Amino acid sequence: MGNVCVKHKVHRVSCNLQRMQTDGKLFVGRMFSVQDSLPKLPVPPLEQTLQKYLRSVRPLLTDEEYVNTQKVVEDFKRDPGPKLQSLLEKRAQKETNWLSDWWTNTAYLEFRQPVTVNVSPGVVFPKQNYTDKEGQLRFTAKLISGLLDYKTMIDKQTLPVEKMGKQPLCMMQYYKILCGCRIPGKKKDSWVCYPPDEANPPKHFVVAHNNAFFFLEAYGSNNQALSTDQLYEQLKYIVYQSKAPEVPIGLLTTENRNKWAKSYELLLKDKETKTSLSIIQRSICLICIDNKLPDSAPGEEESTAAKMMLHGGGSQFNSANRWCDKTLQFIVGKNGVCGLNYEHTTAEGPPIISIVDHILDYCGKNEETSTPSPGIKAPRKLNFNLKFPELKENIEEAVDNIDSLVKDVDLNVFKFTEYGKNFPKSQKLSPDSYLQMAFQLAYYRLYSKPCATYETASLRQFQLGRTDTIRSCSMESLEFSKGMMDSTLSKQKKAELLRKAVAEHKNYVAEAIKGQGIDRHLLGLKLIALQNNMKVPALHMDMAYSLSSHHNISTSQVPAKHEACLVFGPTVPDGYGVCYNPQEKQIIFGVSAFNCCPETESRKFIDSIRQSLYEMKTVLEGSVQSKL
Ligand code: COA
Ligand code: HC5
């Protein structure tokens, strides 16, 4: 296996992730067996990015605007483009990944709005069949056992290396999910991570119930995980110890980050409170046992559940029963409603979903295999002393703010059951590109214009890779959308336009996942200018750049084995957030918008997506595929 050693700097910790001692032998886990041989993220050629950029903005601009942007790009190509490109290439030679730290800062740590709704996605699990408190706690205990089972594979690095096609993927995100936490800062947040091979890795959970937080040890005296029955007894004890709702201190974590940072600083002044905060940060994850669930109209149960996962329903429901800085919060609600919320700084959706799929498989098995662990201790309630009157005021303000945010979120879940990935596959079309074209058509039908659209592209083929943007709106998608709305066109012609638009999108995807996308490259060129005390280039100040970065549709495909529904908020006030889980015979969508924007409405967009999916199938079935 060789002497493989990856050093990766995180903000406060550096971890030697490859070497660990297992049963007295030096062990290089198979999870990281190819880590060192993964390619480094390339810096794409400047000329290529600029050409692609011009193509991508074309459908969003008038002729006159486009001519102007062409000139801006030409100027940039002469100066300062080449200089910035060469500086960026130098950075890329030095760093394991020229983008990853910049991305963590720009996309996450410097972002000042609340992580709730704006950053942290929610996942709804398939409904479980418990109906009372005992069932809720028994399911929670089993969920924890399933999680610990998965955690062993992370800790021992025995998880198989994930692949995309034949390409192995970077597994580093898995190492950060069950040991990390975001920390608020006044201008910029930071995060901590206590990975398994560092001293004192996390061995406890924090359980939230009735807005109180409890320290729950996961392992007994000989490092053996508590059995499911033992966990159940511990959870029962926690519930018994927290019969009445506590001061909703968790709401502070749903606040604007600067505000939360001010409160956090005050909290740290008290020694006991500081210890409580550290216990939360150093935990494996949060387990939220929720109490209340708002009534849902018939057919709305899944959307209500999705709101519970995204924001907790407001101060009257479960929003305070959370610690939103924590990377992972499993949420077990009443009547079988469960799922999770995760803070996005350290990981993308797929590793999270891999854990979810494992837990749901584990919970689906009836037999109880775990044996009791000796030497377990009773859970301990964490104390928070709100010494400063300002803290109480800040909590009151947080109540108002979360309630306004909750009111503003317009969220609906949509299960399209007519067909799934199977249909586009049968038409020899990429299901993902096909769905992206359905979004383009859905938007065009409602607004008679195209819009900048974001789709996540995975960069995990590269060391420490995160994401790039797939600009799904293209001239081809616009031609397709217009064509579909034109009653004079034949099905044959419409199908051709669809195939062309899908091909264009698929090509963009193929390039983006190879590190030849344009958005992160353009971001890099801007950040390297700033780092070298140069001004922001005119290209980045041009209206085409801001317009094409104002994503009225922000999307992400996150496939899951189980019937999970995934949701996140829009990234602009007048936009839609669309997360989709395409399964073989159905597609599950979570669609969000903001109520404060009169032009957007999640139901309206869902109806339009549904219509697009029907119409696209009809035109494909009513046409003959060209042999060319
Ligand atoms: N004909 C028939 N089948 C086809 C096809 C075609 N022309 N093109 C693709 N398919 C098949 C694929 O083989 C695949 O088969 P499978 O279901 O057996 O796996 C399936 O259709 C899906 O392929 P496709 O729809 O093209 O998508 P993809 O799996 O390649 O994913 C992205 C595309 C962009 C979603 C993916 O590359 C990516 O980057 N994902 C990252 C998402 C992410 O990280 N999200 C979370 C962010 S937090
Ligand atoms: C549970 C899965 C949620 C998916 C979250 C996701 O896709 O986040 C995107 C991350 C990225 O870098 O593209 C961001 N987005 C929500 C704005 C699409």
Q: What is the predicted pLDDT for the residue at 627?
A: 54
pLDDT at 153 over 70: yes
Mean pLDDT of 487-493: 97
Residue 199: band (very low, low, confident or very high) from pLDDT cuts 50, 70, 90: confident
Tens of pLDDT, residue by residue over 491-524, are: 999 999 999 999 999 999 999 999 999 999 999 9
- Tell me if the domain spanning 112-409 has CATH number 3.30.559.70: yes
Helix 519-531 and helix 81-94: axis angle, to 10°? 90
Q: Which residues pair with 25 in a beta bridge?
A: 22
Higher pLDDT, 276 or 200: 276
Q: Nearest ligand, CA of residue 466? A: 2
Pick from 182, 184, 343: nearest CA to 261: 184
Among protein residues, the one with the nearest Cα to ligand 2's atom 6 is: 556
Tens of pLDDT, residue by residue over 16-63, are: 443 333 333 334 578 999 999 999 999 999 999 999 999 999 999 999
* Cα angle, residue 300 at apex, residues 299 and 306 outer, rounded to 5°: 135
pLDDT at 319 over 60: yes
Tens of pLDDT, residue by residue over 67-84, are: 999 999 999 999 999 999
Domain ranges of the chain: 112-409, 417-557+598-627
Tens of pLDDT, residue by residue over 376-427, are: 999 999 999 999 999 999 999 999 999 999 999 999 999 999 999 999 999 9
Among protein residues, the one with the nearest Cα to ligand 2's atom 14 is: 456
pLDDT at 13 over 80: no
Expressed in angstroms and rounded, the spacing between residue 584 Cα and the centre of ligand 2 is 22
Tell me how far apart the alpha carbons of residues 593 and 574 are, in angstroms, rounded to a whole number.
Answer: 7
Question: Matching CATH topology for 112-409 and 417-557+598-627?
Answer: yes
- Average pLDDT of the chain? 94
pLDDT at 259 over 50: yes
Mean pLDDT of 530-545: 98
Tens of pLDDT, residue by residue over 120-137, are: 999 999 999 999 999 999
Q: Ligand 2 pocket: which residues have CB below 6 Å?
A: 121, 123, 349, 352, 454, 456, 467, 554, 556, 558, 566, 568, 571, 579
Residue to mutate, 552, 556, 562, ligand 2, most ligand atoms under 8 Å from C-beta: 556
49, 55, 61, 67 alpha-carbon torsion, rounded to 10°: 80
Q: What is the predicted pLDDT for the residue at 28?
A: 57
Q: What is the pTM of this model?
A: 0.95
Give kind and range of the element (H or E) at residue 133: helix 133-155
Expressed in angstroms and rounded, the spacing between residue 432 Cα and the centre of ligand 1 is 6
- Tell me if the domain spanning 417-557+598-627 has CATH number 3.30.590.10: no
Q: Please, are residues 440 and 331 in contact by the beta-carbon 8 Å criterion?
A: no
Q: What is the predicted pLDDT for the residue at 626?
A: 63
Residue 232: band (very low, low, confident or very high) from pLDDT cuts 50, 70, 90: very high
Q: Nearest ligand, CA of residue 502? A: 1
Q: Residue 457 contacts by C-beta under 8 Å, 6 or more apart in sequence?
A: 467, 468, 469, 470, 509, 512, 513, 517
